[in-house]
A = this chain, B = another copy of it.
Amino acid sequence: MKPNTQSVLRCTSRLSRHAASRSSKRTLINSASRLSLRHRAPSQTQSRGLTIADLDKSKGDRERVVILGSGWAGYPLARTLDPKKFQAVIVSPRSYFVFTPLLASTSVGTLEFRTALEPIRSRRSKARYIQGWADDVDFFNKTVTVEEAVADPNQGLALTGPRYEGKTEEEVVNVLQSKKIKGQVFNLSYDKLAIAVGCYSQTFNIPGVREHAHFLKDVGDARAIRKRLLECFEAAALPTTPDTVRRQLLTFAIVGGGPTGIEFSAELHDLCTEEMSRIYPELAEFVSITVYDVAPKVLGMFDDKLAKYAADTFKREGIAIKTSHHVENITRGLPGVEYSPASTRPGLTLKVKEEGEMGVGMVVWSTGLQMNPFVERALSTVRRFPRKEVIFKAQDQEVTDAEAKTWTIARDGRSGGLLTNDRLRVMLESNSSSGNGETRKRAFMKDVFAIGDCGVVEGTAYPATAQVANQKALYLGKRLNRNDMQQQRFTWKNLGIMAYLGNWRALVQGGSGFGNISGRTAWIIWRGAYLMMALSWKNRILIPVYWVINWIFGRDISRF
């Protein structure tokens, strides 16, 4: 059997930036879904047959909940679901959950990387796991198309663009064809589907950011930052490095003045004052840390008083905050030095509109989120309307002419996220031009949920934070366990926000209950809260061990 080029092209059209027009795309999708991978003859070039028999056998008479994603929404949902009632199957390219608030600490060595991780598979875990990317969803047949991602080379790094970006159409076709032939793409059926794929990191397509900046969304990012930081110090310490270059290598730029950028700057400052100034005393004078933001102030989500406290603290500690500044590009190599692949030295050139070009050792980028390409492209038009699965929003009417219409997945206008109702069910809409003008029909899929950053509850403006994602997941898990979704709608309970400011100081802005606190007391709350939130007992033990050990003996600066 020849590989089906059309079906491959379908994927390509979604993945490449120049998507085919909507109608021709649909045709390709249809022809693709006819080519069910399950029915391929066993006489393949590869001996890998297609079976999810193990999974089906262990399912028993439970419902299968397929969860796409293992972040702040997907992972808690899988933990919450009652294994007696549901077979939870996580599909995610990451084999672990990242406790993101501790990433900044791990990136400077205050904590070890694995203290911020929980493996999806563990001795106690009841959830099943498939390491893969969700490629497509068929809402009519209730299957997800999954592409394996076991040895993905970008594992552990922040996602910033479509997987096949930069590849030509032809290269993508080749990759996908080869994966199909080898059975590396397969269908997984679901009874309920929770879309929790999260967002990608926003780069605003500023040249060089994706290639040369560091993000702070995954544990691989934290590791890369730690390595680069220490590399900059080591290069600056070489006897051959002149002072001008030392100053450039030890200039660290953080772009984005939200909690992530601020906390990282604070942790970096701690590292420099507590560790590096003792280990490299001769370099202390060259170090500088600068936070850039396009907005006129940082920590915009905090009260003015707290934000001012943060700004004052940073000023006192010597961290520069440059608001209303615009990064224009990042290139490899220090200014005026032609980059060559033979160079094994760190160093970047950062161009800021207001300042011009400057040499820096590292740029850490944290300017918010962009919609996941899976949500943007794969989840657009609905191939066949999943009639029986629908519940109406108003009046409990049935949709009478569903199959005759083109249904699309409703989106939040601002973020592009999946619109859901207050039960987190994904919304469909259809524009039918029948006689008296356009009427807009709406429907909700009973068994398809969007949680976390990729879903937006209609009529709300909840922030895209871990807290909201986590609350959505717990709501959904509990409602499914008790089967009482109709009785209770989702509302977000604001538990407040925190930010670490360095030197044992923090900000805590109370949600319901708490007031606003800053300084040492806030720092104790900050540490205590994260310790309590740590999901496993293992990490609840290891985290304070590292806090104490590294406070006494210093952070480890071995680099490998």
Which residues of A are in contact with B by a Cβ distance under 8 Å? Answer: 46-55, 94-96, 112-114, 117-119, 121-123, 125, 129-132, 148-153, 155-156, 174-175, 178-179, 182-184, 186, 188, 218-220, 223, 230-231, 234-235, 237-242, 244-245, 275, 278-280, 282, 337, 340, 342-346, 536-538, 541-542, 545, 549, 552-554, 556-560
Copies in the complex: 2
Residue numbers in B under 8 Å from A55 (CB-CB): 239
**Contacts A342-B178, A344-B148 given: A122-B559 contact, CB under 8 Å?**
no
Residue numbers in B under 8 Å from A342 (CB-CB): 174-175, 178-179
Task: Assess whether A234 is in contact with B556, with CB atoms less than 8 Å apart.
Answer: no
| Shortest beta-carbon distance from A518 to chain B in Å | 30
Q: Which of B237, B344, B541, B545 contacts A149 (CB 8 A)?
A: B344
List, sorted by A's number, 11 A–B pairs whose CB atoms are closer than 8 Å.
A48-B240, A51-B240, A51-B242, A117-B560, A122-B557, A149-B344, A151-B231, A152-B344, A155-B560, A184-B240, A184-B345
Q: Which of B178, B240, B554 contacts A183 (CB 8 A)?
A: B240
Task: Assess whether B48 is in contact with A153, with CB atoms less than 8 Å apart.
Answer: no
The answer for the CA separation of A46 and B242 in the assembled complex, in Å, is: 10
| Shortest beta-carbon distance from A159 to chain B in Å | 14
Task: Assess whether B553 is in contact with A536, with CB atoms less than 8 Å apart.
Answer: yes
Task: Assess whether B235 is in contact with A151, with CB atoms less than 8 Å apart.
Answer: yes
| Shortest beta-carbon distance from A200 to chain B in Å | 18
| Shortest beta-carbon distance from A534 to chain B in Å | 13
| Shortest beta-carbon distance from A94 to chain B in Å | 8
Residue numbers in B under 8 Å from A114 (CB-CB): 112, 556, 558
Task: Assess whether B50 is in contact with A234, with CB atoms less than 8 Å apart.
Answer: no
5 tightest CB-CB pairs across the interface, nearest first?
Answer: A156-B560, A96-B558, A52-B239, A151-B344, A538-B553
**Contacts A183-B240, A275-B123, A279-B123 given: A537-B553 contact, CB under 8 Å?**
yes
The answer for the CA separation of A67 and B183 in the assembled complex, in Å, is: 54
The answer for the CA separation of A186 and B240 in the assembled complex, in Å, is: 7
Task: Assess whether A119 is in contact with B553, with CB atoms less than 8 Å apart.
Answer: no
| Shortest beta-carbon distance from A548 to chain B in Å | 9
**Contacts A245-B47, A549-B541 given: A119-B556 contact, CB under 8 Å?**
yes
The answer for the CA separation of A95 and B538 in the assembled complex, in Å, is: 30
Residue numbers in B under 8 Å from A223 (CB-CB): 560
| Shortest beta-carbon distance from A453 to chain B in Å | 21
The answer for the CA separation of A156 and B542 in the assembled complex, in Å, is: 25
Q: Which of B48, B121, B239 contacts A245 (CB 8 A)?
A: B48
Residue numbers in B under 8 Å from A174 (CB-CB): 342
Task: Assess whether B240 is in contact with A50, with CB atoms less than 8 Å apart.
Answer: yes
Residue numbers in B under 8 Å from A552 (CB-CB): 538
